[in-house]
Amino acid sequence: MRAWNDICSGKSDPNLVIPGGKTFLLWPVQFYGPCKPSQIYVEVSGRIVAPRIDDYGSNHLDCWIGFWRVNELTVKGNGQIDGQGAGWWEAYTSAMGFYGCDNLLLQGLNFINSQRNHISVAGSNGAAISHLTITAPDESPNTDGIDISHSTNVRVSDCTIGTGDDCIAFGDQTSQVFVKGVACGPGHGISIGSLGMNGGSAQVEEIHVDSCSFKGTQNGARIKTWQGGSGYARKITFNNIKLNNARNPIIIDQFYCPHRTDCQSLKSAVQISDVSFTGFSGTSATDNAIKLSCSETVGCTNISLEHIDIKSASGDENTYSSCINAHGTARKTFPHLRCLK
């Protein structure tokens, strides 16, 4: 913290280095800006390890390593961030968070076993995230790879993510996000949402996912919203997707209720529109390979599917599609989408 204070105040060169060849046990720490230098650099070459849950006592925070209002921040290196999350994956602590950090560059790090989600980006305009490796056991709950919310102009590329929850999830107030070259698996896929929880209003648009793969995931390309929400999720594209034994390769779920308790049937819903799925190929672990379950009252509009070829991972060509109140077009799609209005 003394080093950070010197850097942020401009008393020393704006470079914070975590040296290689060493392991550092780090208690929860928050780095606050704004800073005087126009750019701040954090180089992580060593290994940073979180305390185990029994050592935290009452020091539970939303984020283990947090950066707040630090613009033009670069965090990169070949080091490792180890959250030692086993035993408390139901907690609410992210491993690393960036809050209000415009023009962020995050590159090269290896994240393992986060306490909850590995990386959070919120309230930020402009972020480039690339060449990360993010790993947690497939049975570890809530260990999302990258969560992005209340942010715009974000690019995620060339990452390998295998966790117990969403590889990447896009939350409310998010737009202009471009994802390319992400290998996902295990995990719950790349997800828009969940949106509209507790009657909330969502504004999500211009999310574009290209040239990604799903291997052994619970979902592939997913949009999930709760009953009773409002607002919109629109102008979303999933292109050039490779599937290997992925469950639910294409899924819109407007009846999202993960714990299957107190699930409600309500008239209002997030409006889903202008969504395209193009160039999907590979195998599905579920026979219902395409599932478009839209609100019975609001429905989904202008849904486009083209050049889809999803066969059964068991070797049988018995995959099928299902729809609820989904409107759009399908061209050169297998399984066929006769249910699309």
Cα(121)–Cα(210) distance, integer angstroms:
20
Tokens of 59: 């020091």
**188 catalytic, yes or no?**
yes
Read off the amino acid at residue 33.
Answer: G
Contact 314, 284 (CB under 8 A): no
Nearest alpha carbon to residue 83 among 58, 118, 55: 118
∠ CA(147), CA(153), CA(157), 5° rounding?
A: 60
- State the catalytic residue, choosing from 188, 259, 307, 336: 188
Q: How far is CA 120 from CA 129, 169, 258, 306, in A?
A: 11, 10, 21, 33
Tokens of 6: 């010197």
Q: What radius of gyration, in Å, describes the C-alpha atoms of the chain?
A: 21
Cα(279)–Cα(242) distance, integer angstroms:
8
Residues 6+ apart with CB under 8 A from 55: none
Tokens 């997913």 -> residue? 222
Buried b / exposed e along 24-34 (16+ C-beta atoms within 10 A):
eeeebebbebe
Show the DSSP H helices in the chain as ranges: 2-9, 53-56
Active site residues: 188
